[in-house]
Amino acid sequence: MRAEAGQNRSGQGRAAEGKAGVSVTGLAGRGVGEAAEARQRPEPLGGLLKAARVGPDGHPAAVRRVLVWLGRAVGGSARIADDGGHPNGHPKPPASAPAPGTPDTALLRAVAAGSPRAAVVAEPGRYLRVLALGGERPHPVLVVTRPSPYDETAASLVAHAATVLELLLGAGDAEAQRRRLAEAGSGVRLSVLQLLMGGEVALAQRTMAGLRPGLLDAERAVVLVLESPAAERREVARACEGLLAGRALVVRCPADDGHVIIVAPTPPAPFTPADTAGTAEGGADGGVEAALREFVAGRDGVFLGVSDRHPLSRVAAGYDDAVRSLAAARLMPGRVAGHRAGVRLAEVVDAGAAAAWAAGFLRPLGAVPAQDRGQLTATVRLGLEFTAVNAARLLGISRNTVRARMDRAAGLLGVDLGDVRDRAALDLALRFLDEAPGPGRYEGRDGGGQDGRDGGRATGGDGALADVGLWRLLDAVPVRVWARGLLAPLRTDERDLLRTLRDWVGENCAVEPAARRRGVHPQTVREHLRGAEGLLRRQLVAGGSGLHEVVLALTAAAGDPYEAPCGVTSGWSARGDRAPVTPSCPATVHP
């Protein structure tokens, strides 16, 4: 076997004799006089340029096309080999059967290390050119094989193709690096969202500081949820990032493949009527909502739900608002809805009595160590709104952890989270809890109070103990007016949707028992529920706070909670009240 190599890329130079009659020399460079050779050779470069064009299939496909073109152009084959002599991306052949056209392994490793950067090997019936590509070690190695010696035209083709391959490989590496950085940034943003969902504001701010300094320095934020077809979500998220230019945290929702979550921090602003109805267009959220409204208007199949302004520690509540708004947006011509569709229960109930009831109801949670209490309540809030699987994805924990925390809270509070009425009571208590300042929120005004099962007792200003039960809160005239207004759209439907909804809730949201009570087919009940969702602009079948609010409204509108379909359970009555009514067919709303 005889091998030849030149000191430069045109193949000229001195030869050095190796052992056993093998002659190997290094090629110091390629392409001396390449322009002149390209003008003289008959083979046009059009085929190379066409093969090197990067299309939707990316840089690796362009590299493969250039290798195929080069092999045909020189009348042989071309490949990029690893330092073991085997083509990259292909199975390695057995040691006893070396790949045809593969140079000596030691030579290949030397070229990959850059010493020499190129070599030629001549054997009977086989001639190889081996070239290192790129500037980083170990180099990718181009191996070109043909059955006859290389003339100037063939050598020039190899040199041109090697230059193009270097560019393609470098661009491919840069694109892969860009994708890795983008995915890493996406992972950091998801982690920040999960920290905010869990109420870990300080840790979320420190984590976000390395990616977007100062973004989460505001005290409050608006949460927006964009819904699009799942296949378009990545493109929608990328468009939102460009549109918002670092003014908001944009995250692909880990719980829903069609959702993009946007957390838009808001600077301090004076209280105005617009604040009570959500952010004004182009207002406190720095124009994020206005920009997203325009985005939705210009793109079919996309919907937007917008929350009220919430403290950063209550991003989970903002997400809840935005998801509820999204249900309404699906029914609106503009495909955008803000959270405030009407007066909320918290605005009409007696604030002092509500705070006293919530403090007594949640008092057992005060036994949980302070460092664990925030995680527990954050998990319970999301567990009341979503399935255990989705809550786990939003928090970045396992679903078993979610279920364990939910069970722990239920055991402490003495509630049955398989009962929609208990879920509604707990959801409302947690909302009232957010309005009560100070460390005594779990203990009532003086740290005393009955347990959550009895609804709680709070000490008034005169020091006297006052029994407080949820049904007493709902029995107030302003609350009844609110409830009847909320349910009024159901009375406009001749199918008597209100009765179906009352029977369905009375059977703990079980369709078949409700159908038997109503005297209709189960499919009729399902159709009535879908109709009620459209009229109320709330999701009911999927559960969550929209359903909880309707449960409370049904109770209040009936006048006497014990005659209502949603009879009392734990937390609904104060000490001395009548025994709670047990549902006839309990069912778990959220697995």
Q: What is the pLDDT of residues 529-551, one digit of tens each?
A: 988 888 887 778 877 778 888 89
Placement of tokens 């010493």 in the chain: 115
Domain co-membership, 334 together with 367: no
Mean pLDDT taken over the chain: 74
Domain co-membership, 98 together with 71: yes
Placement of tokens 């819904």 in the chain: 227
pLDDT the model gives residue 404 = 92
Structural domains in the chain (count): 3
In a domain, 572, yes or no: no
Which H, E and C letters describe 104-172, residue by residue? Answer: CHHHHHHHHCCCCCEEEEEECCEEEEEEECCCCCCCCEEEEEECCCCCHHHHHHHHHHHHHHHHHHHHH
Element (DSSP H or E) covering residue 130: strand 126-132
In a domain, 568, yes or no: no
In a domain, 192, yes or no: no
Q: Domain end: 293, 317, 341, which one? A: 341
Domain co-membership, 320 together with 445: no
Q: Which of 106, 103, 110, 105 is nearest to 129 (CA)?
A: 103
Q: What tens digit of pLDDT does each residue of 129-158 get?
A: 888 888 788 888 999 999 989 888 888 888
Q: Which amino acid is at 149?
A: P
Domain co-membership, 278 together with 202: yes
Task: Evaluate if residue 464 carries a pLDDT over 50.
Answer: no
Give CA–CA dist 562/387, Å, rounded.
29
Q: Which of 407, 415, 422 is nearest to 376 (CA)?
A: 407
How many CB atoms sit inside 10 A of residue 549's CB? 21
Task: Evaluate if residue 16 carries a pLDDT over 50.
Answer: no
In a domain, 393, yes or no: yes
Domain co-membership, 252 together with 362: no
Domain co-membership, 317 together with 262: yes
CB proximity list for 351: less than 8 A, separation 6 or greater: 435
- Which of the pair, 508 or 331, is modelled with greater confidence? 508
Give CA–CA dist 532/187, Å, rounded.
39
Take residue 545 and report the two structure tokens written for it: 């706070």
**Phi, psi (rounded to 5 degrees) for 262:** -120, 125
pLDDT the model gives residue 242 = 86
Domain co-membership, 237 together with 131: no
Domain around 50? 19-175
- Residues 28, 29, 30, CA angle at the centre, nearest 5°? 150
Peptide bond into 42 cis (omega under 30): no
- 3-state SS, residue 300: coil
pLDDT the model gives residue 45 = 72
In a domain, 569, yes or no: no
Give the global pTM. Answer: 0.60
Give CA–CA dist 558/475, Å, rounded.
9
Please, are residues 112 and 138 in contact by the beta-carbon 8 Å criterion? yes
pLDDT the model gives residue 343 = 65
Domain co-membership, 146 together with 256: no
- Check which CATH number belongs to the domain holding 295 and give it: 3.30.70
Pure H helices in 199-261:
201-209, 233-244
Task: Evaluate if residue 323 carries a pLDDT over 50.
Answer: yes
Task: Evaluate if residue 523 carries a pLDDT over 90.
Answer: yes
Domain co-membership, 26 together with 108: yes
Please, are residues 117 and 52 in contact by the beta-carbon 8 Å criterion? no
pLDDT the model gives residue 285 = 56
- Which of the pair, 238 or 472, is modelled with greater confidence? 238
- Check which CATH number belongs to the domain holding 126 and give it: 3.30.450.30
Please, are residues 331 and 314 in contact by the beta-carbon 8 Å criterion? no
Domain co-membership, 113 together with 234: no
Peptide bond into 565 cis (omega under 30): no
CB proximity list for 12: less than 8 A, separation 6 or greater: 6
Q: Domain end: 341, 358, 385, which one? A: 341
**Weakest mean pLDDT among 148-157, 243-252, 379-388, 564-573:** 564-573
Q: Which of 74, 76, 101 is nearest to 90 (CA)?
A: 101
Take residue 107 and report the two structure tokens written for it: 């030579």
In a domain, 55, yes or no: yes
Domain co-membership, 224 together with 353: no
Q: What tens digit of pLDDT does each residue of 383-425 get?
A: 888 888 888 888 888 889 999 999 999 999 888 888 888 888 8
Task: Evaluate if residue 467 carries a pLDDT over 50.
Answer: no
**Weakest mean pLDDT among 141-150, 203-212, 307-316, 467-476:** 467-476
Give CA–CA dist 78/129, Å, rounded.
9
In a domain, 565, yes or no: no
Give CA–CA dist 97/108, Å, rounded.
17
Q: What is the mean pLDDT of residues 155-174?
A: 86
Domain co-membership, 120 together with 249: no
Counted residue by residue, the chain has a size of 591
Please, are residues 240 and 260 in contact by the beta-carbon 8 Å criterion? yes
Q: Which of 440, 444, 443, 468 is nearest to 454 (CA)?
A: 468
- Over pLDDT 70: what percentage of the chain? 73
Q: Domain end: 175, 206, 238, which one? A: 175
In a domain, 242, yes or no: yes
Straight-line distance from the first to the last Cα atom of the chain, in angstroms, rounded to the nearest whole number: 74
- 3-state SS, residue 140: coil
pLDDT the model gives residue 19 = 32
